[in-house]
């Protein structure tokens, strides 16, 4: 057996959408388009959505659950998440993002998917906080030792990294009422 | 005739040539990813030469002699014209319009202001105003948002607040930075 590559964020997004409700490729592609519900955070073009469906099915994370008659053209296959797919998704959604530079895209994607799924975001946020805090401390130390343009640059990175901590703390301190209001 | 604004890389080339006359090759070395300025703004060699052409066309820089090349043809040395130096001074004094451009443009301005020994505080003071307005508007939008929309807005709010803290800390350290130059 060959080692399987880790799913890409767009592929996780397709799986998450199918865990919310069964759907066909066309509807998924619309949500993943640049101006779509998920696409605003993480966009995936139509051909890649179909490729993601193939891969997820191959891995047993989704399965065909019937077909729907297309308005024009052929019938569309409706897919749904399998229990194995849901379990893998739940684990991924709790894993923190490794690099601070990926927070803007990947952490926000996970939070949006968690919010849509009505799941608890606290485990992810706690884990993410633990990953980001050492970066803040390292940058504080570097700032003390730097000068000139290096200091300007480090100061900016420090404040951007602190912003991530502030963002996480803000969400952690919030009453989970937002989850219910989301739907 | 309305000319488009200079791109950040073009400003960087103009700023370097205002510091001292140089040929394209030397400017390009400073703007390589590992060059002196690469951490703030990097620009490939072909784009450096294109920037030089554009700056010459607009009379912001001009040829100032030749230097024999080690191999190959002589290299033209360029220097900023008085109009170029003036345009650069005005640009350095102007805050960045959009918060999303802070990472690139504001850092670039601050680094060149520092290299030129220009006091960045008047520009930072106007930047403080524009960023404060952005924070206020995001706070209002968050109050009327929910779900995924609110998560995205909150993140934007915190990164915008970070820019404000950065601007304010640069304002406070302005005197100390000046002393360090």
Instruction: Determine the pLDDT at residue B2.
Output: 56
Contact A152 B110 (CB under 8 A): yes
Instruction: Determine the pLDDT at residue B106.
Output: 92
Average pLDDT value for residue range B166-181? 71
Helix (H/G/I), strand (E/B), else coil: A70 = coil
Is residue B180's pLDDT more than 90?
A: no
Q: Which residue of A has its CA nearest to B170?
A: A152
Q: Which residue of A has its CA nearest to B177?
A: A148
Q: How many CB atoms lie within 10 A of CB B70?
A: 7
Instruction: Determine the pLDDT at residue A183.
Output: 39
pLDDT band for B147, please (50, 70, 90 cuts). confident
Domains identified in chain A and CATH numbers: 9-88 (1.10.10.10), 103-182 (no CATH)
| Of A71 and A124, the one with more pLDDT | A124
Residue B168 CB burial class (10 angstroms; 0-12, 13-18, ≥19): middle
Contacts of residue B68, Cβ cutoff 8 Å, sequence gap at least 6: B74, B75
Contact A156 B166 (CB under 8 A): yes
Highest mean pLDDT among A167-171, A178-182, B73-77: A167-171
Pairing of strands A76-81, B22-23: unpaired
Instruction: Tell me which residue of B1, B37, B2 sits closest to B14, measured CA to CA.
Output: B37
The predicted-structure confidence for B90-111, as pLDDT tens digits, reads as follows: 999 999 988 888 877 899 999 9
Distance (Å) from the alpha carbon of B114 to chain A's nearest alpha carbon: 7
Six-digit token string for A138? 């390292």
From chain A, the residues in CB contact with B180 under 8 A are 147-148
- B50–chain A Cβ distance below 8 A for any pair: no
| Of B74 and B57, the one with more pLDDT | B57
Report d(CA A74, CA A148) in Å as an integer.
Answer: 64
Q: What mean pLDDT, rounded, does chain A reach? A: 89
Instruction: Determine the pLDDT at residue B174.
Output: 58
From chain A, the residues in CB contact with B154 under 8 A are 167, 170-171
From chain B, the residues in CB contact with A129 under 8 A are none
pTM for the full predicted model: 0.81
From chain B, the residues in CB contact with A162 under 8 A are 162, 165
Instruction: Determine the pLDDT at residue A181.
Output: 45
Contact A152 B107 (CB under 8 A): yes
Is residue A128's pLDDT more than 60?
A: yes
| E-assigned strand segments in chain A | 23-24, 62-68, 76-81
- B163–chain A Cβ distance below 8 A for any pair: yes
């Amino acid at each position: 057996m060959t080692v399987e590559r880790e799913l890409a964020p767009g592929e996780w997004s397709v799986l998450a959408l199918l865990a919310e409700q069964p759907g066909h490729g066309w509807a998924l592609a619309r949500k993943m388009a640049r101006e779509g519900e998920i696409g605003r955070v993480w966009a995936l073009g139509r051909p890649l959505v179909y490729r993601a469906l193939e891969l997820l099915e191959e891995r047993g994370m989704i399965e065909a659950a019937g077909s729907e008659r297309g308005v024009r053209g052929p019938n569309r296959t409706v897919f749904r998440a399998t229990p194995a797919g849901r379990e893998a998704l739940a684990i991924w959604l709790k894993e923190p993002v490794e690099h601070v530079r990926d927070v803007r895209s990947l952490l926000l994607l996970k939070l949006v998917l968690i919010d849509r799924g009505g799941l608890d975001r606290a485990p992810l946020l706690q884990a993410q906080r633990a990953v980001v805090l050492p970066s803040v401390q390292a940058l504080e130390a570097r700032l003390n030792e730097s000068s000139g343009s290096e200091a300007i640059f480090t100061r900016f990175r420090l404040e951007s990294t602190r912003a991530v901590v502030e963002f996480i703390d803000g969400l952690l301190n919030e009453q989970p009422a937002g989850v219910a209001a989301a739907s | 005739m309305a000319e488009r604004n200079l791109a950040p890389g073009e400003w960087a080339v103009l700023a370097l040539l205002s510091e001292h006359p140089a040929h394209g090759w030397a400017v390009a070395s400073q703007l390589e990813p590992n060059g002196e300025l690469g951490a703030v703004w990097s620009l490939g060699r072909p784009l450096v030469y294109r920037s030089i052409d554009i700056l010459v066309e607009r009379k912001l820089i001009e040829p100032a002699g030749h230097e024999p090349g080690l191999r190959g043809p002589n290299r033209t040395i360029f220097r900023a014209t008085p109009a170029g130096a003036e345009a650069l001074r005005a640009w350095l004094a102007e805050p960045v319009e959009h918060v999303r451009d802070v990472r690139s443009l504001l850092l670039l301005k601050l680094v060149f202001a520092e290299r030129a020994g220009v006091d960045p505080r008047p520009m930072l003071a106007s930047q403080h105003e524009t960023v404060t307005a952005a924070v206020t508007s995001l706070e209002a939008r968050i109050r009327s948002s929910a779900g995924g929309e609110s998560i995205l807005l909150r993140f934007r709010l915190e990164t915008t607040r970070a820019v404000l803290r950065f601007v304010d800390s640069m304002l406070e350290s302005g005197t100390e930075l000046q002393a360090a130059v």
